[in-house]
């Protein structure tokens, strides 16, 4: 025992930790559900994929109100009230008309709950002030379900009243985003968190109590080795936990934060597969607040996004040469209406009014009737948002291009790779019909 640096108690604690780490990582933090939208927003603005899956599976005592609201710049201009309040009012009138038969058939208590929930959503929106987000998602069912989720990405406006929460667009949005495992590394402690869509959720930490600096002039080397061994134990435990959390939390990128020399030494303990997922090494000061931290992570993600856009947009010429590319809005809408899209690329700045049949996922630039049920097409303030949502619902990979829009400009700001080669004249014929 004279050759070891830890006591038997320390050794047993370390062994117990290795056995329970996986269970600890899988255990989800239980957050109390707010009884109102205001309470829910104050308690937990972070988006958790496991929570969304749980919401989708749960049964509710009364119908669920699901609101997706876009915050384009023109909607934030205040006159008497923000434009997005008028958008919500219009959506509410539409859904109450469309779902009248469903609501009238509900038991008395559930039927009375629908206007109560809509009124609370209205009151929440009246006091809500967007702070840079592009959209807002609200899920509401009495006191049983209250979630408010600001998003930095665009969505198509929609309001549904149904027995289940409408979470498919939100799930698709999350699948498109990078989910980052963030490690704050120091010699005595490593802290783990998840960063996604501008929000960070602290998970847990691994720490090691380091021995004091050497005070015995006759044993400085021995004391330093003792101290270094504790650092190694901490690094090894943190690397092992990082590997588990990365897989169990469905992460796809890794960011390391800490002093450069410490981070570099820690990397040697990471498994090769995890080491290859590092996309950012950030040296942030302990005095840096959450805004600086978010800015640094978002900046690193923007650079990662730029590289991805360059790689994927660079392949469009190949697909075009093999008749598997629809470019320009008319051709892309034709491909969407025929369900031929495999991958959709859209400029973040593209916005075009149009018309849509949400029941049959039919899109058109011109007014008219849906060819499937002959019902009038609904106005769409931005047809691009409708295109993106329909693409997501059909499992199409969507890339909203922000960093390298110049590479998409030759395709008029929108393009789609196709599941199979399609004669361009056939697509043109479809586009003429839909126009």
Secondary structure string (H, E, C) spanning the chain: CCCCCCCHHHHHHHHHHHHHHHHHHHCCCCCCCCCCHHHHHHHCCCCCHHHHHHHHHCCCCCCEEEEEEECCHHHHCECCCEHHHHHHHHHHHHHHHHCHHHHHCCCHHHHHHHHHHHHHHHHHHHHCCCCCCCEEEEEEECCCEEEEEEECCCCCCEEEEECCCCCHHHHHHHHHCCCEEEEEECCCEEEEEEEECCEEEEEEEEECCCCCCCCCCCCHHHHHHHHHHHHHHHHHHHHHHHHHHHHHCCCCEEEEECCHHHHHHHHCCCCHHHHCCEEEEECCCCCCCHHHHHHHHHHHHHHHHHHHHHHHHCCHHHHHHCCCEEECHHHHHHHHHCCCEEEEEEECCCCCCEEEECCCCEEECCCCECCCCCCECEEECCHHHHHHHHHHHCCCEEEEECCCHHHCHHHCCEEEEECCCCCHHHHHHHHHHHC
**What CATH number belongs to 177-309?**
3.30.420.60
On the CB side of 91, how many CA atoms lie within 13 Å of its CA?
Answer: 23
**Token pair 């959503």 is at which residue?**
121
Q: What is the pLDDT of residue 95?
A: 93
Q: What is the pLDDT of residue 396?
A: 93
Q: What is the pLDDT of residue 211?
A: 62
Task: Spell out the domain ranges in the chain.
Answer: 37-176, 177-309, 314-434
What CATH architecture applies to the domain 37-176? Answer: 2-Layer Sandwich (3.30)
The pTM score is 0.74
Q: 178 to each of 23, 175, 272, 305, how far by Cα in Å?
A: 24, 8, 20, 9
Q: Which residues are within 8 A (CB) of 139 and not within 5 positions of it... i.e. 6 or more apart?
A: 55, 64, 65, 66, 67, 145, 146, 147, 149, 165, 167
The third-level CATH classification (topology) of the domain covering 314-434 is 60s Ribosomal Protein L30; Chain: A; (3.30.1330)
Q: What is the pLDDT of residues 6-28, one digit of tens each?
A: 556 665 555 555 444 433 333 34
pLDDT beneath 50, residues of the chain: 1-5, 18-32, 217-218
Q: 353, 367 in Cβ contact below 8 A? A: no
Q: What is the pLDDT of residue 29?
A: 40
């Amino acid at each position: 025992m004279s050759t070891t640096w830890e006591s038997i108690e320390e050794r047993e604690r370390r062994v117990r930790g290795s056995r329970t780490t996986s269970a600890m990582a899988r255990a989800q933090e239980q957050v109390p559900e707010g009884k109102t939208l205001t309470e829910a927003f104050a308690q937990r603005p972070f988006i958790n994929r496991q929570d969304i899956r749980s919401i989708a599976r749960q049964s509710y005592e009364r119908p669920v109100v699901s609101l997706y609201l876009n915050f384009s710049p023109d909607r934030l201009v205040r006159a008497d009230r923000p434009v997005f309040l008028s958008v919500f009012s219009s959506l509410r009138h539409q859904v109450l008309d469309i779902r009248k038969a469903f609501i009238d058939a509900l038991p008395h208590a559930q039927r009375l709950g629908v206007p109560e929930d809509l009124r609370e959503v209205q009151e929440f929106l009246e006091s809500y002030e967007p702070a840079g987000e592009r959209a807002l998602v609200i899920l509401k069912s009495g006191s049983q379900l209250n979630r408010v989720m600001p998003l930095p990405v665009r969505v198509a406006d929609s309001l549904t009243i149904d027995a289940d929460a409408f979470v498919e667009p939100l799930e698709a949005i999350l699948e498109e985003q990078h989910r980052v495992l963030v490690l704050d590394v120091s010699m005595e402690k490593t802290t783990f968190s998840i960063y996604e869509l501008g929000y960070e959720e602290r998970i847990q930490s691994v720490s090691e109590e380091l021995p004091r600096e050497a005070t015995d002039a006759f044993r400085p080397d021995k004391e330093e080795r003792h101290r270094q061994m504790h650092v190694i134990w901490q690094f090894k435990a943190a690397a092992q936990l990082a590997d588990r959390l990365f897989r169990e939390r469905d992460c796809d990128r890794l960011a390391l934060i800490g002093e450069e020399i410490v981070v570099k030494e820690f990397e040697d303990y990471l498994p090769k597969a995890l080491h290859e997922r590092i996309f950012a090494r950030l040296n942030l000061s302990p005095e840096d607040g959450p805004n600086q931290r978010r800015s640094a992570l978002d900046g690193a993600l923007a650079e990662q996004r730029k590289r991805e856009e360059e790689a994927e947009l660079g392949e469009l010429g190949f697909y075009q040469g093999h008749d598997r590319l629809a470019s320009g809005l008319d051709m892309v809408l034709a491909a969407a209406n025929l369900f031929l899209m495999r991958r959709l690329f859209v400029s973040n700045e593209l916005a075009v009014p149009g018309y849509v049949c949400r029941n049959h996922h039919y899109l058109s630039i011109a007014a008219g009737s849906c060819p499937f049920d002959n019902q009038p097409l609904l106005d769409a303030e931005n047809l691009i948002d409708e295109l993106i949502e329909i693409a997501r619902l059909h499992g199409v990979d969507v890339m909203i291009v922000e960093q390298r829009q110049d590479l998409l400009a030759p395709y008029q700001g929108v393009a789609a790779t196709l599941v199979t080669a399609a004669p361009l004249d056939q697509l043109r014929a479809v586009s003429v019909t839909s126009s």
